[in-house]
Amino acid sequence: MIGAVMFALMLLLNLPCHAGTGTQSDEKAVIKSYNETALQLYQNLAGKNAKNIVISPYSVGTAMAMALSGARGSTEVEMKAALNQTLSRESMDTANQKLLEKMNRFQGASGEVLSIANALCLTTDSALVHRDYKELLKSKYHAEVFDAPDVGPINQWVSGKTKGKIEKILEKLSANSVCVLLNAVYFKGIWATQFDKKKTQPKPFQTASGEAVSVPMMRQKTSYTRTQREDFAALSMPYKTASLEMILILPNEKDGLPKVEKTLSMQALQSVVDDLGKSKPAEVTLSLPRFKASSGASLIPPFQAMGMKLAFSASAADFGGITGRSNALGLIWIAQIQHKACLDVNEEGSEAAAVTAVEFATKSAPLFAEFRVDHPFCFLLVDKETGAILFMGRVNNPLETN
């Protein structure tokens, strides 16, 4: 599987450096906040359209953490609540530093790659970004710092870090843009047991609209772990690197995905992951469509619906941690949050990419021996060692390319 995630944050802010001593429990708390926030974003986006969806919880979480580190006062309180963040800024930053080191452990192992990259792009009014904030991002988030007078260098960085899977994240900068925060996740994974291409045959798939379409259906009989719930079945597809897996969540009813999406909670997902981890593999005939899915959206509306409002206010936003200035409400605020993602699943593995941009501006089925994925389903790409969900999404139509 190949995956790439990008999160770009355009800001007009400055932030002093913090010290902290991250612990393993802090790392778990950070991952928990990222996963919970992503599930809320996913459910918000899922309720607005019937298209395929792909997002990266880890990418969105990391970029928003960099922004949260610059928030102060009521803006910080509101952002922490919306982002499900319980740690202090110091603990959160240090935990992210530790997680970044763990996430970049797969360089080329077994032909697989998982790499995370962060950047701070200094744009039009970059003088408002305090040197302490630059040093914080360099030391805790290993961020590259570079000038970007327009979107050219930003989109070039995006394309490079996602191996060309996402060519650009921003169409233009605001007139008074200050800076852009970027996060990229790239993943290339290979199934522990690959499908035989000769066994891929056209088979029917019932889409969310009820239409039957013919899709290239991969098929193989091998050992997988499975678990069952009242409304859906789940199956774990391991990659060559043992700690990485893709979890398929297949509703029991062919039109059951909307119900599963509405009722799915982080506790329920964690229970599924735990059960799959404890279950013994059993022989299963898996039928899975070969598919490509992509999606893109502004994340400001869903974040506003989740209670984050001050951060987008041109009169009340407080990002004094970035500008190094106190009593400067509305000096800078978030003007854009853009997220793009794509996923390609085939016989060898899968390929995915995602990008998110946030701009700050200033004034001026039952468990049977066969697991047939022939109707809309959800998926998670999980790093079991850290508990991080790298990608999550749904497929309503394998033929849809968005």
For residues 8 and 185, the answer to whether their CB atoms sit within 8 Å is: no
Q: Which two tokens stand for residue 93?
A: 């930053």
- The total number of residues written for the chain in this structure: 402
**Other C-beta atoms within 10 Å of 253: how many?**
12
Give the CATH architecture of domain 197-289+366-395: Roll (2.30)
Domain segments of the chain: what residues?
2-190+293-361, 197-289+366-395
Using alpha carbons, select from 212, 211, 195, 215 the residue that is nearest to residue 203: 215
Q: Say what the pLDDT of residue 157 is.
A: 93
| Alpha-carbon gap, residue 35 to 58, rounded angstroms | 8
Question: CA separation (Å) from 253 to 116, 152, 266, 400?
Answer: 37, 47, 22, 21
Q: Say what the pLDDT of residue 16 is.
A: 28
For residues 8 and 355, the answer to whether their CB atoms sit within 8 Å is: yes
Whole-prediction pTM value? 0.88
**Tens digit of pLDDT per residue, the chain (402 long)?**
333 334 444 443 322 223 344 468 999 999 999 999 999 999 999 887 778 999 999 999 999 999 999 999 999 999 999 999 999 999 999 999 999 988 877 665 566 677 788 999 999 888 899 999 999 999 999 999 999 989 999 999 989 988 888 888 899 988 888 988 888 877 777 899 999 999 999 999 999 999 999 999 999 999 999 999 999 999 999 988 878 899 999 999 999 999 999 988 999 999 999 999 999 999 999 999 998 878 888 899 999 999 999 999 999 999 999 999 987 888 998 988 888 877 788 888 765 656 666 666 666 644 457 899 999 999 999 999 899 999 999 999 998 866
Helices 89-103 and 57-68: crossing angle, nearest 10°? 140
| Alpha-carbon gap, residue 4 to 164, rounded angstroms | 9
| Alpha-carbon gap, residue 161 to 167, rounded angstroms | 10
Q: Say what the pLDDT of residue 12 is.
A: 38
Q: Say what the pLDDT of residue 7 is.
A: 44
* 3-class SS letters over the chain: CEEEEEEEEEECCCCCCCCCCCCHHHHHHHHHHHHHHHHHHHHHHHCCCCCCEEECHHHHHHHHHHHHCCCCHHHHHHHHHHCCCCCCHHHHHHHHHHHHHHHCCCCCHHHCEEEEEEEEEECCCHHHCCHHHHHHHHHHHCCEEEECCCHHHHHHHHHHHCCCCCCCCCCCCCCCEEEEEEEEEEEEEEECCCCCHHHCEEEEEECCCCCEEEEEEEEEEEEEEEEECCCEEEEEEEECCCCEEEEEEEECCCCCHHHHHHHCCHHHHHHHHHHHHHCCCEEEEEEEECEEEEEEEECHHHHHHCCCCHHHCCCCCCCHHHHCCCCCCCCCEEEEEEEEEEEEECCCEEEEEEEEEEEEECCCCCCCCEEECCCCEEEEEEECCCCEEEEEEEECCCCCCC
Pick the CATH number of 2-190+293-361 from 3.40.50.1370, 3.40.630.30, 3.30.497.10, 3.60.20.30: 3.30.497.10
Question: CA separation (Å) from 366 to 9, 252, 274, 384?
Answer: 43, 6, 19, 25
Q: Say what the pLDDT of residue 42 is.
A: 93
| Alpha-carbon gap, residue 360 to 379, rounded angstroms | 32
| Alpha-carbon gap, residue 308 to 78, rounded angstroms | 6
Same CATH topology for 2-190+293-361 and 197-289+366-395: the answer is: no
For residues 355 and 340, the answer to whether their CB atoms sit within 8 Å is: yes
